[in-house]
Amino acid sequence: MDDGESYRGDMPGLSLRDALRVARVEAAERSGVIVELRDASLARLSMLNELLDPVFAEVPLEHADLFDRGLMPGETPRLFVDMVAHVTLGRDRRTFRFLQDTRSGRHVLAESTNPNDIVDAVTRYIARRLIAREQALVAVALPPDAEPHPAPHRPAHEPRATGPAGGRHGGIPFVLGILVGVLAMLVLALVLPEFRLR
């Protein structure tokens, strides 16, 4: 008899069924800890969300579409302020981190264990977003050449342009160009981070 056979005869080996049972218990314990941590994070973010209720109640209705606040559970729970800014918890599960996603990466706007500090940071962020939007709307409504200019003098005998390049249909591409420009400025004002926190 070789050593392997005598060893098996002396001590029964662990069956696969027993090993699976042990692995399931270990996995359940690990996932239980993860679920507890996630629940604790959700509870802290939910408390912060309630602290932000009065701030969002003051946002004028015409600008309410600018913000999309919501608590997102998941592997890393987050409290979204809008499409690009959210609050999450640090590794210690006590530190609130107010983050903004930009083209150049994610930026930390505020970090504190005190939820009131984060409420203040979010309030300042909302105020800056509102001012940036108002400035963008004013810039679109009043272009730099807002003063009316007198029409150039046209001699009576000069014929007016007709056809696709002039006349009645010549202004359609111009008007479409203005509309596209206005829409582009609105999109830039809402999307670009340069308009937000400076």
Is 97 part of a structural domain of the chain? yes
Is 103 part of a structural domain of the chain? yes
CA–CA distance, 121 with 25 (Å, rounded to integer): 43
Is 90 part of a structural domain of the chain? yes
The per-residue pLDDT for 169 is: 56
CA 153 from centroid of its chain's CA atoms: 53
> Could you give the percent of the chain with pLDDT greater than 70?
69
- Tell me the HSE value of 104 on the side-chain side, using a 13 A CA sphere: 5
The per-residue pLDDT for 22 is: 72
Is 87 part of a structural domain of the chain? yes
CA–CA distance, 49 with 43 (Å, rounded to integer): 10
The residues facing 100 across adjacent strands are 85, 107
- Tell me the HSE value of 120 on the side-chain side, using a 13 A CA sphere: 8
Residues with Cβ within 8 Å of 52's Cβ and at least 6 positions away in sequence, in order, are: 69, 119, 122
Q: Return the ∠ at Cα 97 (arms to 34 and 106), rounded to 5°.
A: 105
The per-residue pLDDT for 74 is: 79
Is 23 part of a structural domain of the chain? yes
* Residues, the chain: 198
Q: Return the ∠ at Cα 190 (arms to 185 and 191), rounded to 5°.
A: 95
> Which residue segment(s) compose the domain that 55 sits in?
16-123
Residue type, position 2, single letter: D
The residues facing 102 across adjacent strands are 105
Instruction: Report pLDDT digits (tens) over 97-146.
Output: 999 998 999 999 999 999 999 999 999 999 999 998 888 888 776 655 55
Is 5 part of a structural domain of the chain? no
The per-residue pLDDT for 117 is: 94
CA–CA distance, 28 with 133 (Å, rounded to integer): 49
Number of domains in the chain: 1
89 and 105 Cβ atoms separated by less than 8 Å = no
Residue 72 to residues 88, 99, 146: CA-CA distances in angstroms? 10, 15, 45
If one compares 71 and 166, the residue with the highest pLDDT of the two is 71
